[in-house]
Amino acid sequence: MPRALLLTLAALLSACSPRVLSAEGWSFRIGDAAGEVRLVSRQEFGVCSPKLVGCTVPLGHGCLVMLDRDYFLNGTPRQRTLLLAHEVGHCLDASVLEYGHGGIGAQGAVYGEYYRPAVEGFAESYARAYVAVCGDNLAPLGYGSGPACALPDPRTVRVSLP
């Protein structure tokens, strides 16, 4: 994501959640999609419900991902992986699929009622496809170190049985 575009987004969000700009975080790039991840208290998400543990704000071919700091840092490796990959899935749905959700409709309900809307069904399907290929290695999503891994192509992600 061009730095000017990210700064514009950050400026808009800072009105609602000023700590987002200075929060601990990292960057990621997947193909043409780029994003910034910030660890903040969910009460500081601003544009998303504080009931969530992750929030993605798409912008063009990129996004800002906000993760609840305590949930992410204290979660199990699998919880961290599913959370981050799910939010990155939202970013890819916007930037690569232009909200086509990979053709996933209400089928996401196989994961639970929360995932029935296509937008959530796709993001969860991407997270599960990511785990199937990369395990709990978050390095391809910009966090920590680990081996390279061939990330799932969002255009080929489908709902999988839990």
The set of residues, in sequence order, having a beta carbon less than 8 Å from that of 156 and lying 6+ positions away, is 102
Q: Is 156 exposed, middle or buried (0-12, 13-18, 19+ CB in 10 A)?
A: exposed
Q: Is residue 140 part of a domain?
A: yes
Q: For residues 131 and 90, what is the distance between their CA atoms, to the nearest angstrom?
A: 16
pTM, rounded to two decimals: 0.89
Instruction: Provide, for the chain, the percentages of residues in helix, strand and coil under a 3-state DSSP scheme, each rounded to the nearest 5.
Output: 50, 15, 35
Domain identity same for 37 and 85: no
Domain identity same for 65 and 81: no
Q: Is residue 32 part of a domain?
A: yes
For residue 114, the model assigns a pLDDT of 96
Domain identity same for 57 and 78: no
Residue 54, beta-bridge partner list: 67
Q: For residues 115 and 141, what is the distance between their CA atoms, to the nearest angstrom?
A: 22
Please identify, among 25, 55, 71, the residue that sits at the C-terminal boundary of a domain. Answer: 71
Domain identity same for 80 and 149: yes
Please identify, among 46, 71, 96, the residue that sits at the C-terminal boundary of a domain. Answer: 71
pLDDT, one tens digit for every residue, the chain (162 residues): 455 555 555 555 544 556 777 899 999 999 989 999 999 999 988 888 999 999 999 887 889 999 999 999 999 999 999 999 999 999 999 999 999 999 999 999 999 999 999 999 999 999 999 999 999 999 999 999 999 999 999 999 999 876
Cα 158 to chain centroid distance, Å, stands at 17
Q: 112 is in which domain, residue-wise?
A: 74-156
- Evaluate whether 82 touches 127 at the Cβ level (below 8 Å): yes
